[in-house]
Amino acid sequence: MLTVFWDSQGPILETYQERGTAVTSATYCDILQGELKRTICSKRRGKVSEKILLFHNNARPHTAAHTLETLKQLKLEAMELPAYSPNLAPSDFHLFGPLKNARRFSCDDDMKAVVHQWLRAQPKTFFDDGIKKLVGHCEKMHSKAG
């Protein structure tokens, strides 16, 4: 299971769960506390002092009380999806679609290497375009909900 954090400049952090394990609120919070903030500091100097807004789907690990408390402690904000949204996170419709077409994998280590290489091979415009599509999608959803 891949969890990837990215912004308009490109990938920030990719983490992998062991095969057969589920992402829970505890494992997601471990990523947020242990790796995300530190990685943002090293890859996006100066961004930690700015407001960091996470956009993810409404999956239980993202909405659990423990996760919400962790986000608050880390001074991270989660963007709420509008009511009746299709519940798609940006990675679902922008990254994983093209990535699935990349190739088949012979083992987990091969998959990790290919995913890492593929993420880094995308031009900066790929990620910037993904953020723009996300903003447009959110604006449409908010106008329909309102």
Q: Name beta bridge partners: 13.
A: 5
Dump pLDDT digits (tens) for 9-44.
Answer: 888 899 988 888 888 999 999 999 988 888 988 888
Comparison of pLDDT for 80 and 8, the residue scoring more: 8
User: Can you read off the two tokens belonging to residue 51?
Assistant: 């407001």
Domain boundaries of the chain, sorted by first residue? 2-145
Domain 2-145 classification at class level: alpha beta
Dump pLDDT digits (tens) for 45-86.
Answer: 776 666 777 877 777 888 899 999 999 998 888 876 655 555
Q: Are strands 10-16 and 2-7 parallel, antiparallel or unpaired?
A: antiparallel
Reported pTM: 0.74
Sole residue written with tokens 């943002």? 40
| pLDDT number for residue 40 | 86
Which of the residue ranges 94-98, 111-115, 138-142 would you say has the lowest mean pLDDT? 138-142
Q: Is residue 100 over pLDDT 90?
A: no
Rounded CA-CA distance 117/99 in Å is 11
Residues 6+ apart with CB under 8 A from 142: 82
Q: Is residue 110 over pLDDT 70?
A: yes
